[in-house]
Amino acid sequence: MQWDDLRVFLAVAQAGSLRKAARALRLGQPTVGRHLRALERSVGARLFERTPDGHRLTREGETLLPMAQSMADAAAAIDRRRAGFGADGGGAVRVVAGEWVARFLAPRLSSLADTHDDLSISLAESHLDPDLERREADLFIRHGLPARGRLVRMSLGTMTAAIYGARSFVGAHPDAGTDARWRRCAWVAYDARHEYFRSMAWLAQRLGDRVPRVRASRIALQLEAIPAGAGLGILPCFVGDVDPGLVRLTAPIEELRGDYWLLVHPDLKGVPRVRRVTEWIRGVFKASRPTLEGIATRRTMPG
């Protein structure tokens, strides 16, 4: 019995179909099917029934599932422990964060490289929480206090956001500096897929039935459109305040103030390279507190 076959079995059981499991595993669907058939030959039983809705576990599959899950848990634990075997402080560390935090950290990575040239950082941007038990990441920075559990939680501080517009746009639209902005100004915002974001809900309450002129899936795209004069938009203060082409039109928006936390698995907390990156991230957030909270520079409307 091969572990790769069991790993595919677990993915199909969790996803409910070969197609979804193949996407999660980043494998071709035929490859997933071959692993599944190999496991069924090995155990001498069918593990799934094909239904109109996908793949459903058979009785034999239900029996195998908790045992396969135990093996997966043990493999994940070994992988985490292995990260610390013979650790000398160098190596690769995987960090996952949301768009705003990833954008904040990326240009500052050079300071880490300058002082720790034996470290390699993989920074990934994601709206989804990685599974730290499975080592989908070594460190995860998330918005909001996570539910209490096994993970070690460290407070990083607060990020704020405000409304910004290009100097050219604000100069041509005096209403941008007043409450009439909601009715009379064009807006740039996230697309419909991201309407669950707090910033989108906050903006929707004020725009009513008006639709933003430009809707983009990522903050990077909005950061192209807003300075170009496509409309007003909500941006993190650490981005908007340092762009000379932008004007901040409001104080930091209290409802969009966010507390950020750094999460690490207890098995990895003491690993030297993970600890070094943890200390660097905490130090960068602490040193940048005025910038992150929007109190370092206050841009005003042009007179």
pLDDT at 5: 87
pLDDT at 191: 93
pLDDT at 181: 96
Decide the pairing of beta strands 233-236 and 214-216.
unpaired
pLDDT at 186: 97
Is residue 32 within 8 A of residue 21, CB to CB? The reply is yes
pLDDT at 87: 54
Neighbour tally for 92: CB within 10 Å: 12
Chain length of the chain: 303
Sign of CA dihedral 274, 275, 278, 280: negative
pLDDT at 74: 76
Distance CA 301, CA 171 (A): 9
Q: Mind listing the domains of the chain with CATH numbers?
A: 3-82 (1.10.10.10), 91-157+258-288 (3.40.190.10), 161-256 (3.40.190.10)
Neighbour tally for 111: CB within 10 Å: 13
pLDDT at 90: 60
Residues whose CB falls within 8 Å of the CB of residue 40, separated by 6 or more in sequence, listed in order: 46, 47
296 DSSP 8-state letter: S
Query: Along the 303 residues of the chain, how does pLDDT read in single tens digits?
Result: 788 888 888 889 988 888 898 888 888 989 988 999 999 998 899 999 988 888 999 999 999 999 888 887 777 776 666 666 555 556 789 999 999 999 999 999 988 877 777 888 899 999 888 888 888 899 999 988 777 678 999 999 999 999 999 999 999 999 999 999 999 999 999 999 898 899 999 999 999 999 999 999 999 999 999 999 999 999 999 999 999 999 999 999 999 999 999 999 998 988 889 999 999 999 999 999 999 999 865 555 543
DSSP character string of 68-101: HHHHHHHHHHHHHHHTTTT--S-EEEEEEE-HHH
